[in-house]
Each structure stands twice: as C-alpha cells, then as structure tokens.
Amino acid sequence: MNPYWNVLVSLYYKEPYLPLLKVLSEKNVHFYSTGGTASFLRQYSQYVFDIELLTGYPSILGGRVKTLHPKVFGGILARADNPQDQNELKQFDIPCFDIVIVDLYPFQETVAHTQQAKEIIEKIDIGGVSLIRAAAKNFERTIIIADPKDAALLSQLIQKGESITYEVRKKLAKKAFAITSAYDNAIFNWFADTDLEISVPISTVYPNFLRYGENPHQKAVFYGKIEDNFTQLNGKELSYNNLLDIAHAIQLIDEFQENEATCAIIKHNNPCGIATRANIELAWQSALSCDPLSAFGGVVVCNKQINKETASQMDKVFFEILIAPDFEPQALHILSAKKNRILLQRKLFSYSRVEYRSVLNGLLVQQKDLQLYQDFRVVSVRDLPEYLKNDVVFGLKAVKHLKSNAIAIVKNEQLIGSGTGQTSRIDALKQAIHKLKVMGFDTKDAVLVSDAFFPFSDNVEMAHQAGIEYFVQPGGSMRDQESIDYCNKNNLCMIFTNMRHFKH
C-alpha cells in the first residue's frame, strides 16, 4: 500500500472499526476526519488532519454540516483516468481520497427507545449517507467501508499484502448501497407511521446471501440481522426455508408466552403439533403425539427452558431446528451431538407491527394479525362449560397460524386434528377429522375452531357425526342461522368471535 494514501473517516461507533484503523495507521496513511473521530484517531496515528482545515469551514449548525463541501466530495468522486478531474484536484488543492470509512447515525436505535420526534429527526444522517454513496459510485478508485465485517476483510487483505481487486471494490460498493437503501427505507417508514399509523421498522440491514432459495435453482438473500433475534448455539447455516419456518414458529409460540410450558412443531409453515402442559417434557411429548409423521424434519419451538430430560426425549426424533429461551448445559450437550441440528436461543426483540410481501411489481403491506377475537358470544341454546374455555382460546391461537382454509380441533390444550390449506372448508374438516382418527384421539369434549365462517350447516353436521359438540367460528355468513339451528336441534354449542383469521 502507498504510505501516502488518504483515508476519510467519519464514525459514530468507532470501536468496531478499530482493528482496521490500527492496520492503516501502521501503513502511515493520512487520515482526514472531524471532531470526536479525529481525536480518537490521534491515539493511534500522527497523520490525522481535520476536515475543517481542508474545507476552510468549521462544523456548523450544531454539527449538521461538517463534510458537505466540494473539497471533500471532489476528493472522493475524482476519476483516476479523467485528466480534467486530476487537473482540478491540483487546481483547487484537493486531496484524492483512496478509502472512505463511514457509518451512520443510529436512527433505528433511536426510534426503538424514544418517541420524541426532535430526537429522532436529529439522528437522520445526511453527510454520512452522501459520503457512502459518493465513494460507492466511484468504487473503481475509492474503497468504501460502511460495515465492520467489511473492515475486517480489508484489514486482512492489507495485512496479507494482497491487492484490492475490482471485484472486491464492487462487492463493497454493493454492500454500501444496500446499507443506505435500508437506512432511507427506515426513515421513510418512520414518517409513514405519522400519516398511516402503520410503521415498518427495518433495521440497517445488510444482505446475507443464502445457499439458495426455496429450491436449489433459486438464488436468495436475507436482509436482516439474525443475531438480533437469536444466538445460534449449534448447527449448519440457516436456509431460506429455515427462516420462513422460524418466523412462523416464533409468531406462533408468542401466542402462548403467558401459558404454562408450551411446545409446537412447525412443518412447511404450518403447526402439525401444539400442546400446553405442566412441564416442558410433557409439552414436547404431547406436541409430538399430535402428528409424529409430519413432525419428522420439522422445526420445534418452546416457551420454556429445555432441560436434560426433555433433551433426551427430543434427541430420539429427527428435527432440523429447536428454538427455546434457554438450554440447560446438559441439554445443550445432548442436543448438539448432532452437528447439523440447529439450536437457537431466543433473545428479547420487538416485532414490526406490519408484514409485507412482494406482489407483481410492488409490495402488499398490512397490519399483523395480533388479535384473537372481537367478541366472544355463545349463539346456541347450549352454553360453553367453564372447563372448556381454555381450549377455546387455545384453538383460536392454533387456527390463526394454520393456512386457510383452516380447521383446528383441540382437546385438553392439545391440537388433536388440523385441516390446512384446503380449497374448501369441507376438505379442511375432512382432513382434520381423518388426522385425529388416525392418531387415535377421542372427540369427547373436543372443540372445533374454524378460521372463517361456515357458509352452510354441512360442516357442523359432518363434525357432529364425528362426535364433536363444541364449535367456534367468526360468524358473518348470510346462512349463519342454519348452523345455529342445527346446533340447537342437536344440543350442540356454537360460539361466534366476530373475527376472521384467514392466512394465505
């Protein structure tokens, strides 16, 4: 490396970049910086120059304007193969910046801990974003570092004496534009919140390139910080399908955070087993017994610590992923014996209040389904026994996370039958009844929950023939009365919730 390379540094969080800064200082590069960053750099290098001396202007407007100056951006954007650019650098005495190291004001972190608009707005970075974009645009000559991971990469290349190739520079530029894009998106979503009462808080995220998408022939990228949500204790790299199932598993288990020990098993974005019991070992056994065939290769999620006894039982079954708030050391030892088994320890994190998916050439955005029912009304003559109220709530939580058309049949806080993703509600019901019969469950005192209304009484009649006497549905069909009349005629109980839970 040329000992007289010029490096522009503007950092809010300095420590993550310190290893690279030390390596550069050993090469006697010339650092250009402002304020606190310049003071920080002087601990490690004697070649630190204040931007103010270069531009002839001090930091003004309370720090809002520091680097926005032609002598700064000229030094970043000047093209190496353009004679006019090079002449103008000499004419105006502008140093040519070879490396730009910049991070951004913590806008998202500020949004997360305060609702004070003035404080949030002050954390909208202007100069940093501009510096990153300028350096990334001129990547053929200027190296842009806007992520500590890339700082480590550059540090290694410098220490090994390797050249910074075109491909590396372009990769760094692509990462830089991803960072500024996500940052701008987060700012937009905060402003959108003030108008729409819907926000999509996206962290400053970097592309995590996955092995492939849903299938090996599809490329895939995850934009996000997995480490903010979990600590991975064991297992292989997470895949596209893993992340889909994990997201579904977390949203499902969070319905049961206030319950006793609950375990759920997810397969292809659908729960195939859910149970709440007095302890986690019993919860696991009951969840598995819902449908052990479908559980093979699934994702397991629990709301309590995994102990040694439960781990010993779990180890007998093949599953890809286990998510829990904690693991006893002996449990972790047992479960991590299989090197590819993914073990994730949850962290506390807040959800976005909305969800979105790509459709055609745009995005669909909606509020997340965060409620269970709007009203809870017995519409039949027969009332609901007190001892079944927990099962009604359990069933609503289960059916909410099954793909539509969906039927959940529950008993003793266990999913004993489910019909999911069917094109008719009759088919969903047939599937649910078939499942529980194959597994040998008794329908006495079982509760059937539907994600949407029964358009005809045939659903109730079929379930009644299978021995089910308690029904929960949103109501709202023009022919609701037919189902109610059938229940009254046959001494069955029906409850309306006035809230549909379609999940496409």
Structure tokens at 360: 């055609």
Check if the beta carbon of residue 492 is closer than 8 Å to that of residue 380.
yes
Q: How many CB atoms lie within 10 A of CB 116?
A: 10
Determine whether 268 is an active site residue: yes
Bridge partners of 345, per DSSP, are: 231, 324
Separation between Cα atoms, residue 127 and residue 27, nearest integer Å: 27
Q: Where are the beta strands (DSSP E) in 13-84?
A: 30-33, 48-50
Determine whether 401 is an active site residue: no
The per-residue b/e assignment along 176-202, b for 16 or more CB within 10 angstroms, e otherwise, is bbbbbebbebbbebbeebeeeeebbbb
Check if the beta carbon of residue 467 is closer than 8 Å to that of residue 443.
yes
List CB contacts of 87: < 8 A, sequence separation 6 or more: none
Q: How many CB atoms lie within 10 A of CB 124?
A: 18
Q: Which position has the token pair 């022939």?
A: 217
Bridge partners of 266, per DSSP, are: 271, 299
Check if the beta carbon of residue 344 is closer than 8 Å to that of residue 246.
yes
Catalytic one among 137, 171, 338, 430? 137
Separation between Cα atoms, residue 454 and residue 322, nearest integer Å: 36
Structure tokens at 274: 């859910």
Check if the beta carbon of residue 29 is closer than 8 Å to that of residue 49.
no
Instruction: Specify the pairing of strand 407-410 against strand 362-367.
Output: unpaired
By the 10 Å C-beta count (0-12 exposed, 13-18 middle, 19+ buried), 165 is classed as exposed
| Alpha-carbon dihedral sign for residues 253, 255, 258, 264 | negative
Could you give the strand order of the β-sheet that contains 97-102, starting from the edge strand earlier in sequence?
48-50, 30-33, 6-10, 97-102, 143-145
Catalytic one among 14, 123, 174, 268? 268
Bridge partners of 342, per DSSP, are: 321
Q: Which position has the token pair 């793909």?
A: 403
Numbers of helices and strands, H then E, in the chain: 19, 21
Separation between Cα atoms, residue 298 and residue 140, nearest integer Å: 46
Which residues have a catalytic role annotated?
A: 137, 268
